[in-house]
Amino acid sequence: MGSRKDKIIQRKRTIKKSLHVDLVINPEQDERKIELLICIILFLFGFYQSILFYGHHIMPSPDFPSFLKVGKQLWSFKIPTDYMRGPTYGLFVYPLSLIVGGGHPELTAAWLFNSILQIFNLILIFLVGKKIVGNSAFWLALLGILNPWLIEVFTKPIAEICLLFFMLTTFFFMFRGSSLCYLFASIATMVRYECAALILASFVMDMIRRKDRKEKIRALCFSVLASLPLGLWMLGTMFFFPNEKSGTVHYIQFINIEKLINIKVVARELNLLWYSIIGPLFRPGLSAGENSVKLLNGIIELIAFLSFAFGIIWGLLKKQWNILALLIFFVLYMIVHISYAYSEPRFYTPVQWIFLLICWYGIKSFWQRIKAYEKIPKYVIFGAQTAVLVISILWLSILAGYLPRFANMSPRSVSLPYAAIIASVFFVAGGAFIYKGKNLWRNIVVLAVICLMIISNQFSVAGVIKDGTHDGEFKQLLDWYIHNAKPGEKMVSTLNDLLGVLAPAYKDCFISHGSLNADNPDDFVNRCYENGVKYVAWDSRIGVTPDDVFYTLAKLDNIAVLCNKQSIGPYEYITTITHPTDDWRYINVFRLRPRPVQPSVQSTE
């Protein structure tokens, strides 16, 4: 009897112990659950964001037709004639345009392509970051994908989203020791040429990690093969390098190495990096004084600099070679863009997540070192966390009160911060459920800080993407042309290629100023007559910037007199099209009067 009772007790203990192992001390199973949960949350948020901003900008980027043209030429088995842009983006978008159809299939295909890739970019940022900072890379992915200028290039659309995808895919396989990283690095270089640094990073990582001599030789062979497409493309660049007659330019012409030793230039670029990455995340209230703003920015800049520096130093000391790979690409990318002729915040969208990741790694590593060397009383930690929580909530509530003011500026993005906050709450709640409430208080504090950053970021999002009518006066110009021009009548415009993308049926009717290659105003008029041009459009987008390189390429001096809203010479003033919200953006439309009949010379005998 006793023996039977002992067996029952032993069986209950075994079952209880098994349940305890399954539910409490099975970290691998919990890790799989939390990773799956994060990927689901990010997928849903990415899907929501893609739907929200699909087709937001009525006009694509002015660079869009150039990227598309190269891919279209290759699909047509033609040798490209312009090697300024890489072909990868166009190679994907053009065949997709043949499938989607519609009134402007190429633009629709680009919207769809970017919408799909952006979802994967969000998940890939997490998966790449997880190799360095663990599951807290969720916050990195969320903040990275909410960057205002990343959203801008996502909605334009333009090649940065494609570039980011192949960058992240390269790092994804690189951090897992897969040689597939060379394939994706090679593709990335054909999106934008500075991604050649990815091939170098892949090779360096293999030289560090591969111990066998044969494996290192194989890595060298892979790196050479990965560089071949770029090498062939540069060979084409040499044969078709732009000149005065071609009317085209190349990135190489905008590189000035001397800028790298100019301290003021470097400082300006670092400030732009700060402005486009960290600046939007910690914004003071609109009523804050100038001194308060400077103090806050100074503190945040110092924290960002120290955390980034510590992340690099500590990562290299601890042989966290993933940090080295990121650093190789980040530094070389920065060198290229510091030496570039001009700068825009969007240039740093492909690397902003790297900067945030290294900063977060630095903060996390520093805190772990402090806890390891100094026994900090729990009440001190609790007090500090409570202070951070209270400050974050108060700061957040102040900023949230200003959000309604930005609703009219960017109606489409109003729901974005709330959706991001909901995703963050689900992550914290799901983690609390999976880990049985472990570190819940700490995660709530982090959640409050992240919510503050999301709300702060919305100010910049609204200011950057606005209502999607950037360059909208050209869409109005297109509508005017369709309703007023007779079949076959041609029009000269600076954004002729974009008008052709929006209205493919009329694309042969739109001509660029530069393509006429006129030497002077009179020659311009004659060439217009020769090419059947009926309308000439002068726009303030470029027309008021005579020092701009594109003003010179388009030879807009030939129509400088058209800045005035009045008829002159052979030009008959028709109308002025003004941007819906920006009064300084406008287009003057002129009709060419009939060409004067030249008197015939009759011979007499």
CA distance 359 to 307: 5
Q: What is the pLDDT of residue 236?
A: 87
pLDDT category, 489, cuts 50, 70, 90?
Answer: very high
* pTM of the complete model: 0.90
CA distance 346 to 162: 14
pLDDT category, 21, cuts 50, 70, 90?
Answer: very low
CA distance 187 to 325: 18
Number of H helices, E strands in the chain: 24, 5
Question: Torsions phi, psi of 491, nearest 5?
Answer: -135, 140
User: Nearest Cα to 59, choosing from 97, 114, 104, 94?
Assistant: 104
For the stretch 48-60, pLDDT in tens is 999 999 999 989 9
Enumerate the β-bridge partners of residue 533. 490
CA distance 324 to 198: 12
For the stretch 381-429, pLDDT in tens is 899 999 999 999 999 999 999 999 888 899 999 999 999 999 999 999 9
> β-strands 586-592, 533-539: how paired?
antiparallel
Any residues with CB less than 8 A from the CB of 551 and at least 6 apart, and which? 542, 543, 545
| CA dihedral (160, 166, 170, 173) positive or negative | positive
Q: At what angle do helices 352-373 and 321-338 cross, to 10 degrees?
A: 140
Q: What is the pLDDT of residue 292?
A: 83
Q: Which helix (H) or strand (E) holds 591?
A: strand 586-592
- Contact (CB, 8 A) for 97 and 13: no
CA distance 528 to 524: 6
CA distance 422 to 49: 13
pLDDT category, 6, cuts 50, 70, 90?
Answer: low
- Contact (CB, 8 A) for 347 and 337: yes
Q: What is the pLDDT of residue 604?
A: 47
For the stretch 492-505, pLDDT in tens is 999 999 999 999 99
Neighbours of 547 (CB within 10 A): 6
Q: What is the pLDDT of residue 176?
A: 94
- Contact (CB, 8 A) for 154 and 54: no
Q: What is the pLDDT of residue 117?
A: 97
- Contact (CB, 8 A) for 535 and 485: yes
Q: Could you tell me the strand order of the sheet in which 510-511 lies?
A: 510-511, 490-492, 533-539, 586-592, 571-578
Determine if the peptide bond prior to 157 is cis (ω within 30°): yes
Q: What is the pLDDT of residue 244?
A: 59
CA distance 166 to 223: 16
User: Nearest Cα to 126, choosing from 327, 320, 357?
Assistant: 357
Enumerate the β-bridge partners of residue 591. 535, 572
Average pLDDT of 516-531?
A: 92
Least confident of 55-64, 286-295, 315-324, 555-564: 286-295
For the stretch 204-254, pLDDT in tens is 999 999 888 999 999 999 999 999 999 999 998 888 777 656 556 777 777
For the stretch 420-453, pLDDT in tens is 999 999 999 999 999 888 889 999 999 999 999 9
Q: How does DSSP classify residue 435?
A: T
User: Quick check: 603 pLDDT over 70?
Assistant: no
Please measure the distance between the N-terminal and C-terminal CA atoms of the chain and give it in whole angstroms.
146
Q: How many CA atoms lie within 13 A of 138 on its CB side?
A: 27
